[in-house]
Amino acid sequence: MPELPEVEVTRRGVENRFLGCTLLQCTVRQPRLRWPVPEQIALMSGPLLATHRRSKYLFLTFEGGHVVVHLGMSGSLQIVANDAPWRTHEHVEWRFANGSLRLYDPRRFGSVEFIPPDQPWTAYARLSHLGPEPLTDAFDGDVLFKATRGRKLAIKLFLLSGVPVVGVGNIYASESLFRAGIRPGKASARLTRKQCHDLAASIIGVLTESIARGGSTLKDFAGVDGTLGHFQLHTDVYDREGLRCKRCESGVIKRVVQGQRSTFYCPACQY
């Protein structure tokens, strides 16, 4: 479920609850995730010193090193009472005095990896070829315009590649292109400078609003069952095949397949 907003909301939830708290024990129940969970993960202890996010990767820093969590397609981090019974698909637990954080991931496309304490979290190898963060100065319409020059790949697929910008997954790619009025199948290099500015603004807007909604949702949820990263998904175009376009009200939303994945758009108001 996780695109950038879900991961960011999860990070904030973890930080609010556990920053500065002492990790009492880490239990790895199922080490076979996307990659094998390294032995060092279970040896971690001491206070949670910091949390970070880059793209869809979440970093938890302890004295003994950094824990890198990726939620894959179906992962989430949830806060449960200490000694709560294990549910199926709960693979890793970090136990603190004030509650336990658990990685729940039915499909096991998620991962938990380790970075030694003498390295900065930014040295994580999987970050090396990623594009700019969308919610920083490193990304804007000019950056997107330059990145798209010479690229024949459909803009929707290019966004998903993580090259022009990171954190835009399958849902928000459709949502951003809808908001910017751009066809998902359009060759990247054929976007005008203005379209790149519109698209960059749309990406930033869509992600920012989703974080805000998730943050408010999180507040409600956290008091009830402690669940992190739950969203009431709100979309203008994603998963609305056959429904009337919310913007032009004349088009009917189409679903097409690009790169073996679903894309949604309005044929009447996206060009």
Partner DNA sequence: CCATATACCTGGCAGC
Partner DNA sequence: TGCTGCCAGGTATATG
Q: How far apart are the first and last CA of the chain?
A: 28
Name the active-site residue from 2, 5, 132, 134.
Answer: 2
Q: Which residue, 96 or 102, has its beta carbon nearer to DNA? A: 102
Based on the shown chain and the rule CB under 7 A, indicate whether residue 94 belongs to the binding site for DNA: no
Active site residue 156: no
Hey, what's the torsion of the CAs at 61, 63, 65, 70, to 10 degrees?
-20
Evaluate whether 171 touches 3 at the Cβ level (below 8 Å): yes
Among 170, 176, 195, 227, binds DNA (CB under 7 A): 170
* Angstrom distance (rounded) from CA 97 to CA 256: 49
Active site residue 56: yes
Q: What Rg value do the Cα atoms of the chain yield, rounded?
A: 20
* Angstrom distance (rounded) from CA 97 to CA 85: 17
Among 3, 8, 175, 198, binds DNA (CB under 7 A): 3
Based on the shown chain and the rule CB under 7 A, indicate whether residue 31 belongs to the binding site for DNA: no
- In the block, tokens 């709100």 appear at 234
Q: Which residue, 153 or 269, has its beta carbon nearer to DNA? A: 153
Start-end of H helices in the chain? 4-18, 141-148, 155-160, 170-180, 193-224
Among 31, 47, 106, 251, binds DNA (CB under 7 A): 106
Helix, coil or strand: residue 53:
strand
Q: Which residue, 21 or 28, has its beta carbon nearer to DNA? A: 28
Considering only residues 201 through 240, tell me which ones interact with DNA, judged by CB under 7 A: 231, 233
Which residues are known to be catalytic? Answer: 2-3, 56, 261
Name the site residues for DNA (rule: CB under 7 A).
1-3, 6, 32, 34, 55-57, 70, 72-74, 88-89, 106-109, 126, 150-154, 157, 160, 162, 169-171, 231, 233, 259-262
